Structure 1
Amino acid sequence: MRQPLLVGARSFAEVHAYTWNEAEELLELKIPVALIDAFSGLTGVGTQLTLLLQNDWNVSGETFPSGARVAVDLARVIRQGGQPDGAVSLVYMPKENESLAGLFGSFTAAGDAIYLNVIEDVKSRIRRVAPVADGSWEVTALPLPGDGAASLPMFADPYTDSFLLRYENFLTPPALYRVDEGQSLQLLSQERSEIDLSGYVTEQFFAQASDGTSVPYFITRAIDRKPDASAPVLMYAYGGFGIPMIQNYELFYIGPTHRIWLEQGGVFVLANPRGGGEYGPRWHQAAKRTTRQTVYDDIYAVAEDIIKRGFSAPGRFGFIGGSNGGLTAGVVATQRPDLFGAAISLVPLLDMERYHLLLSGASWMDEYGNPEDPVEGPALLAYSPYHNLKPEVSYPEIFLLTSTRDDRVHPGHARKMAHKMQDMGHEVLFYEAREGGHAMAVDNEGRAFNAAMQAVYLMQKLME
């Protein structure tokens, strides 16, 4: 079935879907549309439109749980004036250690099946899901080359069960595979690594948060590097908007910085705190609005677990993050300067009292909360980096990077943070790119320049 769909969003949490009925009248579909689906494009098999549920959905007395992917018979919904009654079936319900979240490349439709990028303990697993005659869905596994990150195409050929798949991890450059008839992978091409990565290894560990929750993280290091309390550690995390961070060869906002760090003898850590989508909506919901501090407490638990394992020591950690991760960098530097000897805050939010008044800020209120609310306002101020600076505290020399043309997070966040730190007598580094928007660069030369600045700063702070 080919049916045009129109998707509109009032915020990151309020997304609506529309289509046209036989009378060519615009019809709103009374279905929940996740932000991830809106970004990736709504698709399905035959008349079945698939949806990822961010919340429990009750239809005709049956409740479909949050985190699941369901199918809606679109033809029937249109006939019923946009109502989904009796038109919904369960496609895939993740297990306790799984998630269907993912900003891009999380699902596609090819031939007569749906392909899902199931994240199992922060590692990609591909599942082929096809409808059967009794209305249920049959699930089969598609083998991958390893425990890394797979990415499915947004759109595939609806008439064949073959498509292209991308696979990578921290130490494996992106490779492009052809999936034939939904069963086997054929390597077509692979990017070349700029350095020899054969002498490095990635291991996964779990830290215990203060409430007993197991928080996953990855350590990448030289194979011959034994646990060493003097080791400099670069930590990266995001922890927001239900977006999972997995083993990508290049990471959001920092590109190849972590590989430069490894080549110079450092240890790299990817932390997966709550707030992200590593374990579905429950993982995200645990660190929203008034419980936002959970993100940062999880990061401290990871750092302390690394210390217990003998991989580093207090003050030997650097943190890097962009956008929401830039906020995280500001928080960890101001809350735990004893742990972090360096922090790079890229295109960050830092003033959580006024973030909703600047550029796209109002659309993030479902994530962070309303600064004007009597309950949520104090919770925001409790961790807002700009508001928690103190003249008597010794902070690491934070490196703030922003862009004049950032139309998402206002550069004023970084500007005023740098100004306040200088006024208080704290050392701070500030760089503002004139172009590049929220990515801070428009081409590879700009990205290389940013990565070089970040790497040099980290080496000066943690290796010299």
Structure 2
Amino acid sequence: MKRWWFAMAAAGALAASTASAQIAAVTDDPYIWLEDREGAKPLAWVETENKRTLSRLEADPRYDTFHREALEIASAEDRIPMPQIIGSRIFNLWRDKAHPQGIWRVTSAADFAHAQPNWTTLIDLDALSKAEGKKWVWKGVVCREPDEKRCLVSLSEGGEDATTLREFDLETGSFVDGGFDLPASKQNADWIDADTLIVSRDWGEGTLTKSGYPYVVKILKRGEPIAAAREIYRGTTDDIGVFPSVEMDAQGHRAVVITRAKTFFTSDILLWDGAKATKVPLPERVDVNGLVDGRLIVRTSEPWGKVPEGALAALPLSDAMRGAGELTTIFAAGPRQSIDRSNVRVTGNAVIASVYDNVRGRAMVFTPEGAGWRGRALDLPDNLSVDLVTAEHRGDRGYLAVSGFTTPTRLMAFDAASSTAPLAVKSLPPRFDVSGLVVEQFEARSSDGTKVPYFVVHREDAPKDGSTPTLMTAYGGFEVSNTPYYSGITGKLWLERGGAFVLANIRGGGEFGPAWHEAGRKTKRQLIFDDFASIARDLFARGITSASKLGIYGGSNGGLLMGVELTQHPELWGAVTIQVPLLDMLRYEGIAAGASWVDEYGSVSVPEERAFLAKMSPYHALRKDGRYPEPYIWTTTKDDRVGPQHARKFAARMKEYGLPYLFYEDTAGGHSGDADIAQGARLQALQMTYFAQKLIGSAGAAR
């Protein structure tokens, strides 16, 4: 299924301009003017702040080295071209120095197995941007099934969540003259047939929710204007949004799914039969993952009948179409296990999922067997993360990637119908020297006694006197799991120079299933912040690092985490990087897509929740007499999900109070800062220069 929720979490139009009365009541804020995302006055302020920050960071002699090394890794020609299977061919989006925005290209499955495949370029984003005077950022494709000859190409200007959709012919390798062409909006579309789309988007005034997402679904016929589209379903303005998709299996069964997201985590799932939409008897906290053998595949986040929370389950499509039937459990995760919410895929005849035991991954395949299911684990290396990359819709072949902190990524081909072990077809060359490095997993006891795991990568001979410069990160929200991964840039720029790295598996994530997330939702969120601080203290107790040598970073919801840790525990950190963050938690519901996250954070319209938000909001927790480490706050102008407003206002408040800070706002890249490879390398180099200055010292100390 096209996972709308994942893009909204972890990262169109802005949120509705009419915020709630409770949000509007916050009128004593002197920096509301900075909420005008692309206004002339705020952008002039940004330009001044950028000059100040860049003049310091780029002047550091380490910056050029960090930038060169980061760019070399990001643009290396020997990277793995991550595949997407469409029909019988392999497609890939590739970025390098010659194509910083990327080319979309294709090769045969047989040729892809070669060390140097022969690629055919279909779309050159740099050339298209130059021709059209816009900076196009790739956002993916949705292809028509079952023939998979035509696709809707999703392009974003500057990296915003808003996209344009254009019809592309895979046989001719060109955009279709007079084909489907939907202008920019936060939108979802899929194919009903060769001449028909099902679409939710901004149809005009009054068709977006308070969160800024569409809630009206229509059928659009080829050749007709958008205004002529026929409405088939309507949610409400209080929903997060309504998102359609079309699922098919190898036997030809088809499900036209309409997901009415009532909150971020609760949805009504409906099936449209061409005449009406029927609600499916499913729990509200559920993800639809596809269709196998005429059965709807879902992952639950709450108990439902005999099916426990955090399980994979199936419902016969014939029952679902008439609003009846019972779920059957495919796989139930144990207490220290989880099914990675973003890593469930269907093949032609099976379900494949990443399952984690104590944050250590494996891949499992589940195939129908009578009325039930048979499961088995794929034969893969132990103690690595498993990411499901792509799979056939009609067959059972696919690709997955395995990696670890010191293990370069390997792309492995699998056949879900075969007992043969997955075969490594491509491997990423090492990007940094791992000799002498060890990976350890520890647990810290949090404020309520819960043991919270974390990983540490460090030199085996590092002194246990707290002197090792260390970087720690976490996310802690939206049931998103943080699992071990190979980062050539972190390894080269930090670990190879003697630093240590920590990945914290705090609550709010999905490392141990829905309960791990639920433990820190809304007014229980202080436990998430306590988990992170407890891990820092555990690091100090073990002698791995100390407060003056510990730097922390996180983005989006992780940026909120960093803001809270800065204001609640300034004594624990030597450096703090706050990336594309939420920071004003009393006005967040009225900024960008903030209203969509009420189910995660709570609302100022609920007295108990408002009281908690006011207490933890970093923007409001800053004190003139506070002794904070100098943070580095960065964001992007094109971020229409969280928005740059939070970061701007936080920096402005620190300036007002005479507190030290650095602020940088990139003018492109959206929420993920992904406009091109050069932008990513620059952001990495700036951040690493900041950490080197704060945790290592003068440039002469760097190797």
Q: Which of 255, 263, 266 pairs up with 1:4?
A: 255
Q: Alpha-carbon deviation of 1:113?
A: 2.5
Q: Alpha-carbon deviation of 1:386?
A: 0.6
Q: Do residues 99 (structure 1) and 338 (structure 2) align?
A: yes
Q: In the aligned structure 1, how far is the partner of 2:258 from the partner of 2:580?
A: 28
Q: Do residues 382 (structure 1) and 615 (structure 2) align?
A: yes
In structure 2, stretches of 5+ residues that fail to align are 1-250, 698-703
Q: Alpha-carbon deviation of 1:154?
A: 5.0
Q: Which of 7, 15, 27 pairs up with 2:267?
A: 15
Q: Which has the higher contact order (CA 8 A, sep 6+)?
A: 2
Q: In the aligned structure 2, how far is the partner of 1:177 from the partner of 1:198?
A: 25
My pick for the range that moved more, 255-264 or 400-409, is 255-264
Give secondary structure in 2 for the equivalent of 1:152: strand
Q: Which residue of 2 aligns with 1:25?
A: 276
1:108-187 equivalences under 5 Å are 108-133=345-370, 135-153=371-389, 155-160=391-396, 162-180=397-415, 181-187=418-424
CA contact (8 A) 1:50 1:70 kept: yes
Q: Which residue of 1 aligns with 2:650?
A: 417
Change (3 A) 1:73 1:143: same
Q: In the aligned structure 1, how far is the partner of 2:332 from the partner of 2:318?
A: 24
Q: Alpha-carbon deviation of 1:139?
A: 2.1
Q: Which residue of 2 aligns with 1:89?
A: 328
Q: Which of 236, 239, 261 pairs up with 2:476?
A: 239
Q: Which residue of 2 aligns with 1:445?
A: 678
Give secondary structure in 1 for the equivalent of 2:441: strand
TM-score (norm 1): 0.91
Q: Which residue of 2 aligns with 1:71?
A: 314
1:347-426 equivalences under 5 Å are 347-426=580-659
| CA deviations over 1:115-161 (Å, ceiling 9, x no partner) | 2210111111112222222x23222221222311111145434433x
Q: Alpha-carbon deviation of 1:454?
A: 0.5
Change (3 A) 1:169 1:33: farther
Change (3 A) 1:352 1:305: same
Q: In the aligned structure 1, how far is the partner of 2:491 from the partner of 2:556?
A: 18
| CA deviations over 1:175-229 (Å, ceiling 9, x no partner) | 1111142540211001223322343221111111122211010000123324231
Q: In the aligned structure 2, how far is the partner of 1:360 from the partner of 1:52?
A: 25
My pick for the range that moved more, 199-208 or 362-371, is 199-208
| CA deviations over 1:356-390 (Å, ceiling 9, x no partner) | 01110000000000022110001111111111111
Q: In the aligned structure 1, how far is the partner of 2:269 from the partner of 2:425?
A: 37
Q: Which residue of 1 aligns with 2:134?
A: none
RMSD (Å), alpha carbons? 1.9
TM-score (norm 2): 0.61
Output the amino acid matched with 1:223.
E
Give secondary structure in 1 for the equivalent of 2:392: coil
Q: In the aligned structure 2, how far is the partner of 1:211 from the partner of 1:288?
A: 15
Q: Do residues 51 (structure 1) and 301 (structure 2) align?
A: no
Q: Which residue of 1 aligns with 2:457?
A: 220
Q: In the aligned structure 2, how far is the partner of 1:34 from the partner of 1:177?
A: 32
CA contact (8 A) 2:402 2:410 kept: yes
Change (3 A) 1:456 1:349: same
My pick for the range that moved more, 234-243 or 202-211, is 202-211
Q: Alpha-carbon deviation of 1:24?
A: 4.5
Q: In the aligned structure 1, how far is the partner of 2:256 from the partner of 2:518?
A: 29
Q: Alpha-carbon deviation of 1:245?
A: 0.3
Give secondary structure in 2 for the equivalent of 1:207: strand
Output the amino acid matched with 2:336.
N
Q: Alpha-carbon deviation of 1:11?
A: 3.9
Give secondary structure in 2 for the equivalent of 1:371: coil
Output the amino acid matched with 1:46.
D
Q: Alpha-carbon deviation of 1:14?
A: 3.3
Output the amino acid matched with 1:17.
I
In structure 1, stretches of 5+ residues that fail to align are none
Q: Which of 424, 448, 459 pairs up with 1:211?
A: 448
| CA deviations over 1:73-118 (Å, ceiling 9, x no partner) | 112221xx223x3x32111111111011333xx1222353322210
My pick for the range that moved more, 181-190 or 407-416, is 181-190
Q: In the aligned structure 2, how far is the partner of 1:308 from the partner of 1:434?
A: 42
CA contact (8 A) 2:257 2:272 kept: no
Q: Which residue of 1 aligns with 2:24?
A: none
Q: Percent identity?
A: 37
Q: Alpha-carbon deviation of 1:397?
A: 0.4
Q: In the aligned structure 1, how far is the partner of 2:644 from the partner of 2:590?
A: 13
| CA deviations over 1:317-348 (Å, ceiling 9, x no partner) | 11100000011111111111111111000000
Output the amino acid matched with 1:449.
R
Q: Which residue of 1 aligns with 2:528?
A: 295
Q: In the aligned structure 2, how far is the partner of 1:108 from the partner of 1:227?
A: 44
My pick for the range that moved more, 320-329 or 440-449, is 440-449
Q: In the aligned structure 2, how far is the partner of 1:303 from the partner of 1:179?
A: 40
| CA deviations over 1:376-423 (Å, ceiling 9, x no partner) | 001111111111111112101010001111101121101111011111
Give secondary structure in 2 for the equivalent of 1:4: strand
Q: Alpha-carbon deviation of 1:15?
A: 3.0
Q: Alpha-carbon deviation of 1:32?
A: 3.7
Q: In the aligned structure 1, how far is the partner of 2:458 from the partner of 2:375?
A: 36
How many aligned residue pairs are there? 443
Q: In the aligned structure 1, how far is the partner of 2:436 from the partner of 2:379?
A: 25
Output the amino acid matched with 1:3.
R
Output the amino acid matched with 1:462.
L
Give secondary structure in 2 for the equivalent of 1:372: coil
